[in-house]
């Protein structure tokens, strides 16, 4: 069974169900990608200030964003190969990487887009998981279409 470790950078951040929604979304994305080995994803729930500082430190971007992904492996989208991945041999898990989600931004975007917090935080967790698995959307071409299609597939599996 895969591990999704969710922490908050300050007590009381988000809703009581936030961690469960994130875990469910990450695990659904892993299942949709047919990943049957045990993996680990670490998730930090933060706010605009926290994600802004991380974005500046790690990417040189002086602005907040909704989600950040820090993959530990260079993977090919749709072709997961555990042999080429970082592994925690003591725990018996493939280490996929870290994600950071801006919870207040989820609230705002969920309202702006008219689909609510539950869908927004789930979508961002799916989106970030796909990044950890090698998907990207830097161009408007086939990579972006492939990633968007996988996001939609996972959100449908989640029933959201």
Query: For position 141, what pLDDT does the model report?
Result: 73
Which pTM value belongs to this model? 0.95
Is residue 122 scored above 80 in pLDDT? yes
DSSP per-residue codes, 50-102: HHHHHHHHHH---S--SEEEEESS---TT---GGGS-EETTTTEEEEEEEEEE
CA distance 139 to 63: 21
Per-residue buried b or exposed e for 139-155, using 16+ beta carbons within 10 Å of the residue's own CB: eeeeeeebbeebbeebb
Predicted confidence band at 9 (pLDDT cuts at 50, 70, 90)?
very high
**CATH class of the region 3-158:** alpha beta
Q: What is the DSSP letter of 14?
A: S
Compute the average pLDDT of residues 31-42: 96
Contacts made by residues 82-91, CB under 8 angstroms, sequence distance 24+: 82/37, 88/40, 91/3, 91/38, 91/40
Query: Tell me, what's the pLDDT at 62?
Result: 97
Residue 1, pLDDT > 90, answer no
Q: How confident is the prediction for the chain on average, in pLDDT? A: 95
Question: Across residues 89-102, what is the average pLDDT?
Answer: 97
* pLDDT at residue 60 in the model: 96
Smallest CA-to-CA distance from 35 within 150, 117, 121 is with 150
- Euclidean distance between CA atoms 88 and 59, whole angstroms: 26
Q: How far apart are CA 88 and CA 126, in angstroms?
A: 23
Above 80 in pLDDT, residue 37? yes
């Amino acid at each position: 069974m895969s591990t999704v470790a969710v922490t908050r950078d300050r007590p009381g951040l988000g809703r009581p169900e936030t961690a469960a929604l994130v875990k469910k979304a990450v695990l659904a994305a892993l299942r949709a990608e047919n990943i049957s080995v045990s993996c680990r994803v670490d998730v930090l729930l933060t706010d605009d200030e926290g994600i802004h500082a991380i974005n500046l430190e790690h990417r040189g971007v002086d602005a907040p964003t909704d989600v950040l992904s820090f993959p530990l492996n260079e993977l090919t989208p749709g072709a997961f190969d555990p042999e080429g991945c970082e592994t925690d041999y003591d725990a018996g898990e493939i280490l996929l990487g870290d994600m950071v989600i801006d919870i207040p931004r989820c609230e705002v975007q969920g309202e702006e887009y008219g689909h609510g917090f539950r869908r927004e935080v789930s979508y961002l967790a799916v989106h970030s998981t796909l990044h950890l698995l090698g998907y990207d959307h830097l161009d408007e071409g086939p990579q972006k279409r492939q990633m968007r299609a996988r996001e939609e597939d996972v959100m449908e599996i989640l029933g959201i």
